Amino acid sequence: MALKITVIGTGYLGATHAAAMAELGFEVLGLDIVPEKIAMLSEGRVPMYEPGLEDLLKRHVAGAPGATGRLRFTSSYEEAGQFGDVHFICVNTPQKHGEYACDMRYVDNAVESLAPHLHRPALVVGKSTVPVGSADRLAARLAELAPAGADAELAWNPEFLREGFAVEDTLHPDRIVVGVTSDRSEKVLRDVYATPIAEGSPFVVTDFPTAELVKTSANSFLATKISFINAMAEVCEAAGGDVVKLAEAIGYDERIGKKFLRAGIGFGGGCLPKDIRAFMARAGELGADQALTFLREVDSINMRRRGHMVELAREAVGGGFLGKRVAVLGATFKPDSDDVRDSPALNVAGQIQLQGAQVTVFDPKGMDNARALFPTLAYAPSALEAVRGAHAVLHLTEWREFRELDPVGLGEMVAERRILDGRNALDPDYWRDAGWTYRALGRPMA
């Protein structure tokens, strides 16, 4: 009999995982405690911007015209418990307010709400990013609460998807990692992934702590790579070097690799910043804090980028922001997403406004979320409108449409043709030829 799957939590991770599982032929029930999300998803609408996800959802959601009907949504744990053989936990694990540690309440709630409804053999699979040791603790809790007792097992299967590429990363993962404590749960997970998903993807079977650590260490490595190149950008600025050339040249060494060496205003989003902090906090609890002190530096290099961008902008407008207009292109933490969580772009925009400038922001997809988070900033309906009368234009999220802007047309709208490229993504010559002063982080002035 084919396995039935539930997916608990329908954010970026859960909504994508649920739709992907339906695409692979499974009957899937998605669960979320937010009724508005369930209502939207049930109509085949996605509550966030994620390329390709809505099409995938519409192909499967019950009731949509021509859909397979393999995917449904609910907010009932009882229904989920009765329906599923495999239950994926995909809820978020944010940073605790005012602390570095991870807030586990949503994961704990999910397991504690589901467990009493597990009356027959079931596998509960954690996908959320959690502090090492959580799986052991949750397995004990599950055994305590599930009527099925030892027949309700836990496994850990971290997820590595990137926002903006969530569908692609879920259907074609670089690797599948499973932390298991029995052959039975390994077999169930092999069955789940014995589909086109696993074709060509290495399948790594390990214990709970290693599976949990694979995720946090991968994100720490990525964050470290970005902060490394941003540290080099600082040195390049001091020495008159060009960090873009430097990154290209060191990237040819395959041991280093070209990816994740884009210098700029640094990393943000719902994962890297909070994951490195939670990792440090957990290592501290385990008495291994010394092993991760370098992550403190990774974090502080990253946060310094934002301040540096503000300083360059101040310099660009003549030393003070009062009475100046600044246009900010980009609000999301990265392109192809509407996510503004811990967005460097919005942080810079907010700092500049606090220092007296009139700041106008435009973003192709993140305007609603940006408005909700920073209601006092001004927002324009297009890049062209945002730059009207600006004394400086700040390019802070590298959307493709910003690379395709016409500097001549834009030049006619601004008060001063000054652009600061916070992502090293624009072509300096293109802008300079159109009469702009172009400045980027870690690169020579002209």
Where on the chain is the footprint of ligand UDX (CB under 6 A)?
160-163, 219, 222, 226, 260-262, 264, 266-269, 271-272, 333-334
C-beta of 13 vs 114, nearer to ligand UDX: 13
3-state secondary structure 121-140: CEEEEECCCCCCCHHHHHHH
Binding residue per annotation — 215? yes
Closer to ligand UDX by CB, 262 or 296: give it.
262
Find out whether 306 is annotated in a ligand binding site: no
Listing DSSP states for 383-416 in one string gives HHHHTTT-SEEEE-S--HHHHT--HHHHHTT-SS
Residue for token digits 């978020």? Answer: 92
What minimum distance in Å lies between the beta carbon of 305 and ligand UDX?
A: 8
262: annotated binding-site residue? yes
Query: Going by C-beta distance under 8 Å and a sequence separation of 6 or more, which residues neighbour residue 185?
Result: 123, 153, 154, 155, 178
Determine whether the annotation assigns residue 274 to a binding site: yes
Comparing CB distances to ligand UDX, the nearer of 246 and 317 is 246
Say if residues 225 and 232 touch (Cβ distance below 8 Å): no
Q: What string of H, E and C letters represents the secondary structure of 288-308?
A: CHHHHHHHHHHHHHHHHHHHH
**Sheet containing 358-362, strands listed edge to edge, beginning at the edge strand earlier in sequence:** 378-379, 358-362, 325-329, 392-395, 418-421, 437-440
Give the separation between CA 358 and CA 378, rounded to whole angstroms: 8
Please identify which of the residues 90, 102, 236, 271 carries the catalytic annotation: 271
Residue located via tokens 């084919």: 2
Residue 145 CA: distances (Å) to CA of 89, 134, 150, 188: 16, 16, 10, 22
Contact indicator for 339, 366 with CB cutoff of 8 Å: yes
Q: Which of 175, 129, 182 is closest to 154 using CA atoms?
A: 182
Nearer residue to ligand UDX within complex by CB, 96 or 162: 162
Question: Does 380 show up as a binding residue in the annotation?
Answer: no
Determine the Cα angle at 398 with ends 397 and 401, to 5°. Answer: 115
Smallest gap from residue 139 Cβ to ligand UDX (A): 23
90 is catalytic: no
CB of 177 to ligand UDX, least distance (A): 12
* Residue 153 counted as an annotated binding residue: no
Residue 100 or 165: which CB sits closer to ligand UDX? 165
* Amino acid (1-letter code) at residue 72: R
Q: Cβ 16 to ligand UDX, closest distance in Å? A: 11
Instruction: Tell me: is residue 333 an annotated ligand-binding position.
Output: no
Q: Give the whole-angstrom CA distance, residue 169 versus residue 162.
A: 7
Residue 321 is labelled as binding a ligand: no
Query: Does 245 count as an annotated binding residue?
Result: no
Per-residue burial over 289-299, b if 16 or more Cβ lie within 10 Å, else e, is eeebeebeebb
Q: How far apart (Å, rounded) are the C-alpha atoms in residues 301 and 207?
A: 33
User: Cα separations (Å) of 328 from 278, 386, 430?
Assistant: 31, 7, 19
Q: What is the smallest separation between the CB atom of 324 and ligand UDX, expressed in angstroms?
A: 26
Nearer to ligand UDX, 91 or 357 (CB): 91
Query: Could you tell me the smallest distance in angstroms from the CB atom of residue 210 to ligand UDX?
Result: 17
Cβ 89 to ligand UDX shortest distance, Å: 15
- Round to whole Å and give the CA distance between 113 and 352: 45
276 close to 217: Cβ distance less than 8 angstroms = no
Q: Which is nearer to ligand UDX, 28 or 177 (CB)?
A: 177
Which positions are catalytic?
Answer: 271
* Binding-site residue ranges for NAD(+): 32, 37, 93, 129, 163, 274, 341
* Binding-site residue ranges: 32, 37, 93, 129, 160-163, 215, 260-264, 268, 274, 334, 341
